[in-house]
Amino acid sequence: MRIHLITGEKGGVGKSQVALAFIAFYTTQNRPLVICEADRSNGDVGRATDGKDGHTIIYPHFTENTDHIDKADSMLDAVLTQHSDAIVNCPAQAHRAIVQWISQGSADLAIEEGIQFCFWFVTSGEYDSVALFLQSLKEFPTIPHVLVRNAFFTDRLTYDYSGPLRSKDLKKAIDGHRVPVIELPRFMPSDLDFIKAHALSFTEAIQNKGLTIAARSRVKRALDHFFTQLTPLEVLTNEPTAHTREGTLDTNDSTPGESGAETTGKSTRGKKRSRKSASVESACPL
């Protein structure tokens, strides 16, 4: 049982597209899934999937308000009850709230029951987006990360900071944490506009006659390319990949190791920490 958090911290980098593509991957494999729409201001994923494809959808959300951190708890119960994976469409700027939720011990018992976590960090390739990814690795060194480069943005950049061979700091972090790097293929803006306007899932879009056969073909090809990258990843297999220490997730700062491992198709292997979890203030200095 895995909870895949589709995050990116920065707004407008394509988190919803990645979540919908991820959901299509599970749908085509007839795998049960709990869909968690945690973006309360722009719930595209919830609108596109509610009541469709046999998946369960719930609406948890993360908050920094210590009196209401339980608002995210429902995803754990849903996963344990259905014994299935979950995909969480996270809103922008959710990092502090996720740190708050984890540092309060919210997930400890669920981890003992077999739940594992993974961050799918979506980046536009811009400097600030990549800096937020490095911050996430630092704050959550024991949780596997996958870096998702959104080709819609990165194809247009003069200098793509998410290119592992072009950014020394990023390459060091990716090698040290053994972070897989995948790409969300570029969808045509007009195709995406139609899909969003009609609140379609990607699997629906491929069958929807409101789109031309050429548009449906483009969507299918992009999804197939994305699926090909997902299939070999350890964080989607039955092998354990989430990292725990004494049943708790660690949110302390960590210095990446120097494994120099290849990145594609491999899970993170963060180092175990010798210190207890830091306070929320020290764990999240953003």
Q: pLDDT digits over 137-178, tens only?
A: 988 888 999 999 998 888 888 888 888 777 788 888 998 899
For the beta sheet containing 181-184, the strands, ordered from the edge strand earlier in sequence to the opposite edge, are 56-58, 33-37, 85-89, 2-7, 116-123, 145-150, 181-184
Tell me the C-alpha distance between 152 and 134, whole Å: 21
Residue-level pLDDT at 201: 92
Residue 153's pLDDT is what?
Answer: 86
**Each residue's pLDDT tens digit, 55-68:** 889 999 998 888 89
Instruction: Name the pLDDT band for 279 (thresholds 50, 70, 90).
Output: very low
Q: Tell me the C-alpha distance between 23 and 50, whole Å.
A: 12
The beta-strand segments (E) located in 78-188 are 85-89, 116-123, 145-150, 181-184
**What pLDDT sits at residue 252?**
54
For each of the domains in the chain, give its residue range(s) and CATH number, in order of start.
2-187+224-251 (3.40.50.300)
**98-134 pLDDT, tens digit each:** 988 988 889 899 889 999 999 999 998 888 898 999 9
Greater pLDDT, 153 or 254:
153
pLDDT above 60 for 269: no
Measuring CA to CA, which residue among 55, 12, 28 is closest to residue 223? 28
Instruction: State the pTM of this model.
Output: 0.80
Angle at 230 between CA 209 and CA 215, to 5 degrees: 20
Which helix (H) or strand (E) segment holds residue 227: the answer is helix 213-230
244 — pLDDT class (breaks 50, 70, 90): very low
pLDDT (average), residues 204-215? 93
Nearest CA among 92, 243, 284, 269 for reference residue 174: 269
Tell me: pLDDT of 49 over 60.
yes
For residue 202, CA distances in Å to 55, 206, 220, 243 come to: 14, 6, 8, 32
